[in-house]
Chain A
C-alpha cells in the first residue's frame, strides 16, 4: 500500500506548511512604511520615464513631419505664366485640312517662342533668346497641342493662355531663388529676373495646383516630373508580392503550427525562418539578381521581378505573424472540432484559420508596408532606371516610390528637392493608409471567446 502511504504523507506535509504561515505581521511598522514610500517613488519614476520616452518619440515625429511637409508642400503647386498665343494657321495646319494627324505633328514650340518674342520684343541676342525661352517649360507645347486637338476652332485665333513655366522660373516664384544674392551665385541672371518682374507686374504669373505631379511619370524636367509612374510601379510590384507571399506564407505557417511533427528538422526550419527575417534586404536583392535575371532571364526593371524579390523578403514576416495568430487560437476550439469528428484540415479551415485571420491580415499588411518602403533590393534588379512611361503591366519597365525618391534626391536641379519631399509625403500617405487598414481589420474581426 505504498500509494496510499505516499498520499497520506503529502497531506501531512501540506499541513506543516500551512501551519508556518501564522507569524504575525506589524503592518504599521516604520519598515513597512518605508517600503510603501519606496514603492510609490518607483512608480512615479517609472511614469516619468515612460512619459519622456513618448515625448521624445513624438518630438522626433513632429520634426520629421515638419521638415518634410515644409519642404514638400510647395511641390503640389506649380508656377504658370500667361502669354498671348497666336494659333497661327500657317504653323499648325497650313493646308487647312483639319486632320488631327496633321495638327498633332505641328510645331507648337514655335508658337510659344513667338509669343515670348512678342512679349519681350527687345530681346534679339541669340543667347538671351535661349534664356527667354526657358521661362516656359518644354512641356507647354504639348498642352497647346492638346488644346488645339480638343478644340480645332482655336486655329487662327489669339488667346491669353496659362503656360507651365520652367523649373528655374518656378523656383524664383516660390522664393527658393533670391534676387538679392550676387548674380554669379544664382541660376538666373539679372535680365531673367527683370522678365519675371515684368510678367509679375502684369499679373501674368501665378501658382496653380500641380495636377501633373500626380498624373505624370518621371521626367528630366522637374516641372514635368510626376509620381504616378512610380505609384503604378509600386502597385504592380506589391500585387506580385502579395499574390506570392500571402498564400505561401499562410500555408507554411499553418503546416508548421498545426501539422508538422516537432522534430529536429522542423526546429531547423523554424530557426531559419526567424533568421531570414533579420537578413539585410540587399542580400535578397542580390539573390533576385542572380536567380531571376541571370538564371531565369526575366525582364530587367520589371515589377514582376521586384515583386518576386520582395516576396522573399516579406515571407518571414508573414509566416511569423501568421504562426503567432494561429497559436493564439484557443486549443479548446480545435478540441471541440476534432471531438465532433472534423478532420484536421476541416478543423483548420473551418475554425482555426477564420479566427486567426485578423492577426494574419495585420501581419500581411505590415509586411506589405515594409515591402512598399523597400529600396535596396530593387536597386540590385535594375528598378532604379530612369523610366518616363507609366507602366502598363507587371512586365513593363518600372520604378517604385522609394526608388523614385532616391532618384530625385540624387538629381542636381533645385526643383527636385521639393519633389523629393512631396514624394516622401505620398509614400508616407500610402503607408499610413495601409497601417490604418490593418488597424481597422484587427478591430473589425476581433472576437472574444
Chain B
C-alpha cells in the first residue's frame, strides 16, 4: 500500500473562487478528536456529497459549516471555515444570520407541529423578510413550488404538517429551508428515513435546487452520491481522505481506502 502523506491526502483539484472553504479544521468532543485537519472547498451551485462509513465525521463536519456544533457542550473547534471568504467563526459574525444564509435539512423530517403554511412562513417571519401578508403568501407558495410540494398541499395549507407522509414532510423541511433564501443548503442524510419513491422525489428535487443553491449533502448511499452530486468527498476516521469530481471518485479513486469503501470492501 502506498504511503500517503497528509498533504497528498487532502490535496484536490484546485477550485476557483469556492463558495465555502474549510482550512485545517480540527474538532474535539471534550477530549476525543473527531475531525483532523480537514481542508475542503465547496463549489457554488453544485452538489457536494460527503460519504464515508458511520462515525467518520462527515455529519460533524457538515454541522461545522453552519455552526450547529456550537449548541453542543464541550465542543472545541480550531481551524477556519469561510463563507464567501469570510471566517464564519469570526466574532463579528452573527450566528443567527449565518444560519439563515446556510440552511439545513436534517436526517429525520422535523416539521414544527404547526400548520403547513406556518412551517414555511416561520423563517421569513422571524427574520423580518416580508412586509405584508401577500408577500409572505408568495414566499410560501414559491418555496413549496421549489420543493415540489405545492401541487400536493396547496388545498391543505392550514392543516398540521405532522399529518403529511414522511417524504412530504422532508420536502416541507426543504421548502422551509428554501423560504429564507439561503445561499447554501446543508443536508444531513435527508433520505435515510424515506422509502425509495420518496427518496427518488427528494433526489430529483436536489438536482433542481442546484441551479439556485449550493448544496452539501451527507449520505450513506454511494448510489445517491453518484446520482445527485457533482463533487464527492470521502471521509474516514475523521480525516478527509479524498475529494474530487464525482465521476472521478467513483471510477478512478486515487486512494486505496476510497477504492475499498466504494467497492464495498469495508464500511
Contacts and interface: CB of A to CB of B under 8 A. Distances in A.
Interface of A: 1, 3-4, 7-8, 11, 261-262, 330, 332-343, 346, 350-351, 355, 447-449
A445 B179 CA distance: 28
B180 A355 contact: no
Q: Which of A3, A4, A337, A341 is most buried by chain B, counting CB atoms within 10 A of its CB?
A: A341
Nearest to A1: B1
A306 B104 CA distance: 51
B174 to A, nearest CB: 12
Interface string B149-193: 000000000000010000000000100110010000000000000
B110 A1 contact: no
B99 interface: yes
Given A335-B68, A340-B99, A341-B100, A448 B127 contact: no
Nearest to B163: A448
Q: Which of B73, B103, B126 is most buried by chain A, counting CB atoms within 10 A of its CB?
A: B126
A347 to B, nearest CB: 10
A359 to B, nearest CB: 14
Interface string B89-122: 0000000111110011110101111000000001
Interface in B109-149: 110-113, 122-123, 126-127
Contacts of B180: 340-341
B7 interface: no
Interface of A is mostly: helix
Nearest to B99: A341
Contacts of B236: 3
Contact of A341 (B73, B96, B110, B113): B96
Q: Which of A330, A338, A340, A343 is most buried by chain B, counting CB atoms within 10 A of its CB?
A: A340
Contact of A336 (B73, B112, B127): B112
B257 A335 contact: no
A4 to B, nearest CB: 6
B103 A339 contact: yes
Interface residues of B, number: 36
Contacts of A261: 73
Nearest to A448: B162
B71 interface: yes
Contacts of B176: 336, 340
Nearest to B127: A341
A338 B68 contact: yes
B246 interface: no
A339 B66 contact: yes
Given A4-B260, A340-B104, A342-B122, 5 more contacts: A1-B257, A4-B266, A330-B110, A351-B112, A449-B113
B256 interface: yes
Contacts of B266: 4, 7-8, 11
Contact of B96 (A333, A342, A351, A355): A342
B75 interface: no
B237 interface: yes
Contact of A262 (B68, B73, B106): B73
Interface in B204-222: none
Given A8-B266, A261-B73, A447-B113, A343 B96 contact: yes
A343 to B, nearest CB: 5
A334 B68 CA distance: 11
Contact of B99 (A4, A333, A339, A447): A339
A332 B100 contact: no
A340 B177 contact: yes
A262 B260 CA distance: 42
A335 B113 contact: no
B97 A332 contact: no
A351 B256 CA distance: 47
A4 B110 contact: no
Nearest to A342: B126
Q: Which of B53, B113, B260 is most buried by chain A, counting CB atoms within 10 A of its CB?
A: B113
Given A3-B257, A261-B73, A338 B106 contact: no
A406 B266 CA distance: 76
A332 B1 contact: no
B160 to A, nearest CB: 9
Contacts of A336: 106, 110-112, 173, 176
Contacts of B103: 339-340
A338 B100 contact: no
Given A3-B257, A4-B256, A341 B126 contact: yes
Interface string B251-267: 00000110010000011
Nearest to A330: B110
A332 B110 contact: yes
Nearest to B108: A332
B259 to A, nearest CB: 10
